[in-house]
Amino acid sequence: MGMVGGGPDAFIGAIHRMAAALDGEIELVCGAFSANELASVEFGKALGLASERSYGSYQQMFIEEAQLPKSQRMDFVVIVTPNHLHFPVAKMALNNGFHVLSDKPATLSLAQALELELEIYKSELLYGLTHAYASYPLIKQAKELVNAREFGTVKKVIVEYTQGWLAKNEISKQAQWRLDPKQSGISCCMGDIGVHAAHLAEYVSGLAIEAVCAELNSTNPERSLDDDGCVLLKFHNGASGVLIASQVAVGDENNLTLKVYGEHQSIEWSQLDPNTLFLKSLNRPTQIFRTGSPCVSRYASDATRLPAGHPEGYIEAFANIYKSFAQQIRAHQQHKQEYDLGVPGIREAIRGMAFIESVVFAARSEQKWHPLSLLPQEALSNE
């Protein structure tokens, strides 16, 4: 693995490195960790990388890594930069023969996501997106339960993702780029955490969001991007939904919760207690599923590393993305055609950008409902 971004003072880079290393299948061999060339090289050395593979820029890294023998060069790059760099880094990586694993959102705009799809198709390489919340064992279990005949047709989905860290006015490095349209894009809150909630809602319910009605807020007059919002959802089967996302919910940490209601049953899950899943019924006692228990599905079991009663969390869920992506790469190298192991890809990337653009467009409009458009919203601007 090579890494772009994730250098000094970066939060998510360390998470990626821990998750990638957890199963012993992936080795970090090179990186371009900072826009500051010297800081990038020094940080790579601090991680124990060879000095010649601690690069001053991602451009230099791709060019020089591509010249190494296949047995030595990196197999894939992970992109953990601010949003505006996701697309150019991914495009150059693909053009130089490297698979790509990227933080979300995949690009700065839907137009870029559609262009990226073409680049992936031309390269015949792999692309993954780190929607890690869908890799919790009991989210896998929830998806199985919702798809079961006993659950019935999904009628309503409620998903909520609230944080409080942007309630304060002090601008940290992490807040600075997220609140900058040139680096973050057209949305802060919806682009940062709302898109995670939307992906989780679609993944577990098995339904596609078809239309949105949205209200976005900026609670600080000095902020040009949203830090709070609420979205009404319509799914393709007629089900309704509510998505709440806020980064100014004082006292909340990473409060991601999901409820899916069917004709006969419903599920409820919270990231604050990720090893517990509730299955509720009209005329039966509530069932409680626990991570590692023998009654969970094979997919949930495969995503579990520890015996029941030993809590698994965010790092392990993140590591499931890396483990599956490593297996995809091995299958690709062996020219196997079937290597869909549940890693979100360019389809989810496009839907994520369509969600962000459609929500921002809807929030600016007096019209109530807007279709979730898979075509770029030309009326939007990053300025």
What would the pLDDT profile of 96-154 be if each residue is shown by its tens digit? 999 999 999 999 999 999 999 999 999 999 999 999 999 999 999 999 999 999 999 99
In this prediction, residue 31 has a pLDDT band, given cuts at 50, 70 and 90, of very high
| In a domain? residue 383 | no
| In a domain? residue 53 | yes
Decide if pLDDT at 9 tops 90: no
Q: Which position has the higher pLDDT, 281 or 338? A: 281
Q: 145 and 82: one domain? A: no
Q: Count how many residues are written for the chain.
A: 383
How far, CA to CA in Å, does 222 sit from each of 169, 242, 361, 381?
10, 28, 21, 18
- The pLDDT score that the predictor gives to residue 100 is 98
Decide if pLDDT at 160 tops 70: yes
What would the pLDDT profile of 217-240 be if each residue is shown by its tens digit? 999 999 999 999 999 999 999 999
- The pLDDT score that the predictor gives to residue 377 is 79
In this prediction, residue 383 has a pLDDT band, given cuts at 50, 70 and 90, of very low
CATH of residue 228:
3.30.360.10
Amino acid letter at 207?
A: L
HSE toward the beta carbon, residue 109, CA cutoff 13 A: 15
2: β partners: 30, 77
> Measured on CA atoms in the order 51, 57, 62, 66, is the torsion positive or negative?
negative
Q: 265 and 157: one domain? A: yes
| In a domain? residue 327 | no
Whether the Cβ atoms of residue 82 and residue 183 lie closer than 8 Å to each other: yes
Long-range contacts of range 147-153, CB-CB < 8 Å, 24 or more positions apart? 147/206, 150/264, 150/265, 151/262, 151/263, 151/264, 151/265, 152/262, 152/263, 152/264, 152/265, 153/237, 153/239, 153/262, 153/263
- The pLDDT score that the predictor gives to residue 375 is 84
What would the pLDDT profile of 282-326 be if each residue is shown by its tens digit? 999 999 999 999 999 999 999 999 999 999 999 999 999 999 999
| Section 46-72 average pLDDT | 97
- What are the residue ranges of helices labelled H in 103-257? 110-123, 137-147, 173-178, 181-184, 189, 195-205
CATH of residue 51:
3.40.50.720
| Section 152-160 average pLDDT | 98
Q: 256 and 288: one domain? A: yes
| Domain closes at, from 307, 329, 357 | 307
| Section 32-42 average pLDDT | 96
| In a domain? residue 86 | yes
Q: 54 and 142: one domain? A: no
Q: 108 and 46: one domain? A: yes
* Structural domains of the chain, count: 2
**Whole-model pTM?**
0.96
Q: How far apart are CA 232 and CA 356, in angstroms?
A: 13
Q: 70 and 119: one domain? A: yes
Q: Please tell me whether residue 240 adopts helix, strand or coil conformation.
A: strand
| In a domain? residue 359 | no
In this prediction, residue 381 has a pLDDT band, given cuts at 50, 70 and 90, of low
| In a domain? residue 119 | yes
Mode of pairing for the β-strands spanning 127-129 and 76-80: unpaired
Q: 83 and 110: one domain? A: yes
| In a domain? residue 360 | no
- The pLDDT score that the predictor gives to residue 340 is 61
Q: How far apart are CA 155 and CA 321, in angstroms?
A: 29
Question: Containing domain of residue 282, as a range?
Answer: 137-307
Q: 94 and 54: one domain? A: yes
Q: How far apart are CA 140 and CA 154, in angstroms?
A: 17
Q: 150 and 41: one domain? A: no
- The pLDDT score that the predictor gives to residue 341 is 66
| In a domain? residue 366 | no
Q: Please tell me whether residue 124 adopts helix, strand or coil conformation.
A: coil
- The pLDDT score that the predictor gives to residue 338 is 58
Mean pLDDT score across all residues of the chain: 95
Q: 172 and 72: one domain? A: no
| Section 52-73 average pLDDT | 97
Decide if pLDDT at 171 tops 90: no
Q: 27 and 69: one domain? A: yes
Q: 101 and 166: one domain? A: no
Decide if pLDDT at 382 tops 50: no
